Every structure is written in structure tokens, then in C-alpha cells.
Amino acid sequence: MEMNSFNIGNIKNKGISLWSSLKKTRIKFSGLFSQDLLNDNWYEDLEESLILADSGPRTARKLIDALKVEVSINKSVKNTEDARVIFEQLLFNIVNPLAPKHSELKKIEQINDTGKPFVIMIVGVNGSGKTTTIGKLANFYKSSNKSVMLAAGDTFRAAAGEQLKYWGEKNDIPTIFQKNGDPASIAFDAVKSSEAKEKNVLLIDTAGRLPSQLNLMDELKKIKRVIGKALPSAPNHTWLVVDGSSGQNTLSQVRLFHEKLVITGIIITKLDGTSKGGFILSLQDAKIPIQFIGVGEKIQDLKNFEPADLVASLIGK
């Protein structure tokens, strides 16, 4: 097994980042890799810690079985600190495929070169943090020298439109807003407006809903179809925002939203303070890239997903 280097010190030095955000999750592994004995009890403790961190029993068992095999092959492993190196690599092998394969900024430039805006539709359940995340995304893209427009497509929650307008004003970005308007119509108008005004990126907010609410899921499908009528190449992405504190419950959300809409990226919010960060390991089955992670409340606290950072931040040292 090819090994990668995980510099714990570099992760710590990032301050308020994934390291500090996953503190409560990392506690689950406290002291496990400072023991001398590498025996069945230790493996059981490690598996229990993975489950307590909400990685899920199946993922935990898969990791422990793989670790046992690698340790048996590598005769130089004498203690738990040696085993840590292998365990880190196993974790990395799981989460590395979840990183985006290509630069989104380059994709945006390619679409913009055709004279079209890059359209991203944001979906998720109630309370996942979609609107706030859009504000952070707007800041991210503007900081990357992209012109941005927002579309307030959440007409169900009374304060959603005003909240998005606030984020627009905070970032000096225009917001398409229609009080009591039809979400699909708002999305259509926003696409046309962003194209006419030659914006680089259009971020479309939608109302939160449970995937079991079939009529509301059908509404999302309609919005997506209408966006495609306004601009045949759009939306370029449909991103699902999930609440990191929900742990394993996010897995069913990902599966059901993907079945209805074909999700092309995941944004994980509210990782700061959660003790359930291990659920990210279970997202391997979804095979959908994690685009961003939310590690705090500030507008800058939306970070690109870095697998090596996650590994180091999960188990610490």
C-alpha cells in the first residue's frame, strides 16, 4: 500500500479550520494511538471509536478488517503508533475519491468563454444552511474575481428572500428577488438576467424540503427543467447542502435527492462543534464529490474539501 504524508502540525497551524472544527469528533480517538499493545482489545476500541464518531458500523468494520490485513503483512509494525500510519492511509484512500477531480474555477472560465453564466442550483432539507452557504459561496467566487448574481428561489420561508438580499448587499452582489413569486419563474428570470449582464456565476437558492415530500421534490425537478429551458447547458451543477451535525442521517438525504435531481456536489455545513464528523467516511458509497465544507459562522468559513486535512483532523495526534 502506497503511503502518503500527513503533517498534523500543518493542519493545526491553520487555526479555525477543520482541525478546530472536528475537535469533538477527534476526542473519540484520544489516547488510542499512544498505547504499546496492538491486540484484539485495541482493535475493538478503535472500531468503537469509529462508530461513536458516526462513521457507521459497516464502514468501521471495513476499516478495521483492512487495518488488520495491512498490519499482518507489514512485519515492521510493532505498536499502535506504527499502526496509525497505516490507518491514516486507509482513511485517506476512502475520502480521497470524494475530492473534486477538476478545478471548478476552470470549469467556470470554460463556460464563461462561450458567453454563458455558470449556473449552480442549491438544494437541501430545511435548516441545512443553504441560504447562508450561498452567501459564503458568493464571497468565495467574488474573491476569486468572478462576477456573481444571486436568485432568491426560496419563496416558502418568509425571511429567506430578505436573508439572501442581505448576503448580496454584504458582498455587493445583485439579487433577483420577487416577493411571493413562483420559484421556477424566479430561476428563469435570473438565468436570463445573468446572461444579459454577462455574470460569471449564478447561484440559485431553493426552499428547504424533505426528500419524502414528493410534491415538493417535483417542484425542484420543475425548477431544474425551467433553468434548462432558459439556458440549455444549465444548471451546470446541482449541489446538495447537508448539515454536518446530522451525521449518518445525511446519507439518506444524499441518496434520495440524487435519485430525483442527479446531485453533482455536496456541501457540508456546521462541522464546527459536531461530534459526528466520521459520517463523511460513509459518503464514499455515494460517489458524489464534496465541494466545500463549512467550518464556522464567518463569511470566510467555507473551505475547499481537502482529504488529507480531514484525515489529520479526524484522528489527531
Burial pattern 128-142, b for ≥16 Cβ within 10 A else e, equals bbbbbbbbbbbbbbb
Of all residues in the chain, what percent carry a pLDDT higher than 90? 62
Residue 270 lies in a domain: yes
> What domain count does the chain have?
2
DSSP state of 309: H
Domain boundary among 82, 98, 114: 98
Residue 87 lies in a domain: yes
- From 174, 178, 196, select the one nearest 186 (Cα to Cα): 178
Residue 315 lies in a domain: no
Q: Domain limits at 225?
A: 104-306
Average pLDDT, integer, range 259-268: 96
Residues 158 and 68 in one domain: no
- From 118, 262, 289, select the one nearest 204 (Cα to Cα): 118
Residues 160 and 286 in one domain: yes
Residue 235 preceded by cis peptide, ω within 30: yes
For the segment 33-61, what is each residue's pLDDT rounded down to a tens digit? 888 788 999 999 999 999 988 999 999 99
Residues 74 and 210 in one domain: no
For the segment 118-138, what is each residue's pLDDT rounded down to a tens digit? 999 999 999 999 999 999 999
Does the structure show a pLDDT above 60 at 139? yes
- From 252, 250, 256, 261, select the one nearest 122 (Cα to Cα): 261
Residues 145 and 268 in one domain: yes
- One-letter identity of residue 276: K
CATH number at residue 277: 3.40.50.300
- From 95, 58, 27, 80, select the one nearest 308 (Cα to Cα): 95
Confidence of residue 298 (pLDDT cuts 50, 70, 90): confident
Residue 316 lies in a domain: no
Residues 25 and 83 in one domain: yes
Mean pLDDT of the chain: 90
Residue 312 lies in a domain: no
| CA separation for the pair 46, 60 (Å, rounded) | 9
Residue 311 lies in a domain: no
Residues 138 and 264 in one domain: yes
Does the structure show a pLDDT above 50 at 14? no
For the segment 242-252, what is each residue's pLDDT rounded down to a tens digit? 999 898 999 99
The CA–CA distances, whole Å, from 65 to 70, 74, 96 equal 9, 14, 19
Confidence of residue 181 (pLDDT cuts 50, 70, 90): confident
Residues 197 and 213 in one domain: yes
